[in-house]
Amino acid sequence: MMQILPGFRDFYPADVAKRNYIFSTFRRVARSYGFLEVDGPFLERADLYRKKSGGELMGQLYQFVDKGGREVAMRPEMTPTIARMVAESGNGYRKPLKWFGIGSFFRHERQQKGRLREFVQLNCDLIGEASPAADAELLALVIDSLRAFGLTSQDFVLRLSDRNAWVRFFQQKAVVENRMEELLQLIDKIERQSEQETAEKLAPFDITLQDIRDFIERRDPASFSDLLAELSARGLSEYVEIDLKIVRGLLYYTGMVFEVFDRQKRFRAVAGGGRYDRLIATMSDGRVDLPAVGFGMGDVVLGELIEAVPAAEKKMRDALAAQPACEIYVVIADETQRPQALKIIQTLRQERWNVDFSLTPIRVGKQFQIAEQLQARLGVIVGSEWPQVKFKRLATREEFACPHDVLAERLKTERAPLIFDF
């Protein structure tokens, strides 16, 4: 029997409903920040990632040669595509660009909790503005996105860091420019690597593990004062902590970087991002040079977090219940009236009601049973009384009768409130 690939997911109706709830919530918040939705192709030239992303991502590319002999890769992240799009056509848009996207990405990772090989990422990029005000706008959007799901400062924290602070620190330690990246990658791995290994790798630079720890402890708030003031004016201070252990694994980050974690540290990072001020210039061979800041938030960990926080889980459940798959079930009590029933069904659907019925003749009792399984709110019964029809509030089992055209007319003009007014 045919099987799905490991690390990939099928989305059955309940899964898509949750996914769409996450998408539409995020879409609404991003739009409230004046961000516009964009998207790119699922397949790109492999070179797009090779020099720009770097790090462990390169070993995880779904990469192959296409029928035209091109080296291609399924997109592992959005930022390089955004940078390419801006390099190509960004000049035609007013700056700063505020762009967001929702899409699937692919990484051939070792399978583990919270990591799949295909995952959805919600992305946001603010391009063309280098000031801390842009960083604040982006971080506020991350925080408000999570708050929109019913998550609070009890549930998550944004850990803020700055690659430049590290660069300055290493410069003081006389580290030369072309060894800088190597040390940043070392900081990135500091919590996943043994102390001994880290210390050994630091030794040639004449830096001790204690130097690193002292620097992390200092939390150098100077680099963040403008950014923190902006977040404070927005009333969002409680969501942010300085944590210089964060440096992000990707090569293209240049300044502020951050990651969002659940407070209990039960899950992997919910979101992460930072400044990538040089990437667009690199992509365009210097023709377009715009500072940028962005983030990505994965659906897997976000979904786990929502389900783990009762208030957030309830908010999702309520939102899903407000969108019933079937609002009206049409019961055909007399098969000779089926054509009439079809006409009513057609009318109701055109008036945007979600309507279902039995495609084949079955007992009336069975039809009501299905209506209840579908959690329909209203039953419309078409039978031998035609042109009279009955309708029934399924929750209370109250029944009413009226001519079919009167019913159709009321359902036409009143839409949703009617369900409750009957």
User: Please, which of residues 280-309 interact with a second copy by CB under 8 A?
Assistant: 283-285, 287
d(C-alpha 226, C-alpha 291), whole Å? 18
Interacting span for a second copy (CB under 8 A) from 184-192, 217-225, 308-316, 335-343: 335-343
Q: If binding is defined by CB under 8 A, does position 365 make contact with a second copy?
A: no
Structure tokens at 331: 């019961």
Contact call for residues 405 and 386 (beta carbons, < 8 A):
no
Amino acid residing at 29? V
Interacting span for a second copy (CB under 8 A) from 16-24, 165-173, 179-187, 245-253: 16-24
CB of 204 to a second copy, least distance (A): 33
Cβ density class 79-112: b for 16+ within 10 Å, e for less: bbbbbbbbbeebeeeeebbbbbbbbebbbebeee
Shorter beta-carbon distance to a second copy: residue 214 or 238 = 238
CB of 21 to a second copy, least distance (A): 12
CB of 219 to a second copy, least distance (A): 23
Phi and psi torsions of 112, nearest 5°: -160, 170
Q: If binding is defined by CB under 8 A, does position 417 make contact with a second copy?
A: no
d(C-alpha 413, C-alpha 401), whole Å? 18
Structure tokens at 81: 């595509």
Contact call for residues 29 and 141 (beta carbons, < 8 A):
yes
Length of the chain: 422
Interacting span for a second copy (CB under 8 A) from 42-50, 153-161, 174-182, 384-392: 42-50
Binding string, 22-41, against a second copy, x = CB under 8 A? ------xx-xxxx-xxxxxx
126, burial (CB in 10 Å: exposed 0-12, middle 13-18, buried 19+): buried
Of 22, 57, 72, 389, the residue at the interface with a second copy (CB under 8 A) is: 72
Interacting span for a second copy (CB under 8 A) from 14-22, 190-198, 305-313, 409-417: 14-22
> Binding to a second copy (CB under 8 A): which residues in 222-281?
229-230, 233-236
Task: Measure the N-to-C terminal CA separation of the chain; round to a whole number of Å.
Answer: 50
Q: If binding is defined by CB under 8 A, does position 382 make contact with a second copy?
A: no
Shorter beta-carbon distance to a second copy: residue 48 or 311 = 48
Q: If binding is defined by CB under 8 A, does position 99 make contact with a second copy?
A: yes
CB of 118 to a second copy, least distance (A): 6
Q: If binding is defined by CB under 8 A, does position 112 make contact with a second copy?
A: no
The neighbouring-strand residues paired with 102 are 122
Contact call for residues 258 and 274 (beta carbons, < 8 A):
yes
Pairing of β 118-127 and β 292-298: antiparallel
Shorter beta-carbon distance to a second copy: residue 61 or 269 = 61
CB of 395 to a second copy, least distance (A): 19
Q: If binding is defined by CB under 8 A, does position 318 make contact with a second copy?
A: no
